[in-house]
Amino acid sequence: MNDRILSLLGLCRRAGKLVIGADPVIQSIHSGEAFVVLTASDFSQNSKKYVLKAVSDLNIQIITLNRTKDELSRSVGRMCGILSITDKGFSDKIQELILKEKEQEE
């Protein structure tokens, strides 16, 4: 199966525009680098509350992907359940693909 979202995340990682892991993601939010935060469907709700707190006053969207941590990890080459994108173009394209996917599911 050709998963465009996971492929784009791999490309984003190779371009150096992906932040992986809860603490680095929170740091990217505080520094103003993050455009969007993505979580795996099986990401810990306990860990997610810290990220929600970090974005509470900012205009950064948190999107839960319909992908597991294993699927995300394979696409970016490192174990992860949460990541942020630090490039506007990649962020916009990922959000567009996610929106298209949700429309197809309905």
Q: What is the CATH number of the domain that holds 65?
A: 3.30.1330.30
Residue 1 is predicted with a pLDDT of 39
Structural domain of residue 29, as residue ranges?
Answer: 4-105
Residue 106 is predicted with a pLDDT of 77
CA nearest neighbour of 64 among 5, 3, 4: 5
Cβ neighbors of 79 (< 8 A, separation 6 or more) are: 69, 73
The answer to pTM > 0.85 is: yes
| H helix or E strand, kind and range, residue 33 | none
Provide the domain count of the chain. 1
User: How far apart (Å, rounded) are the C-alpha atoms in residues 81 and 42?
Assistant: 8
CA distances from 97 to 6, 65, 100 (A): 10, 11, 5
CA–chain centroid gap for 45, Å, is: 15
Q: What are 58's two structure tokens?
A: 């900012």
Query: Along the 106 residues of the chain, how does pLDDT read in single tens digits?
Result: 369 999 999 999 999 999 999 999 999 999 999 999 999 999 998 888 889 888 887 889 999 999 999 999 999 999 999 999 999 999 999 999 999 998 988 7
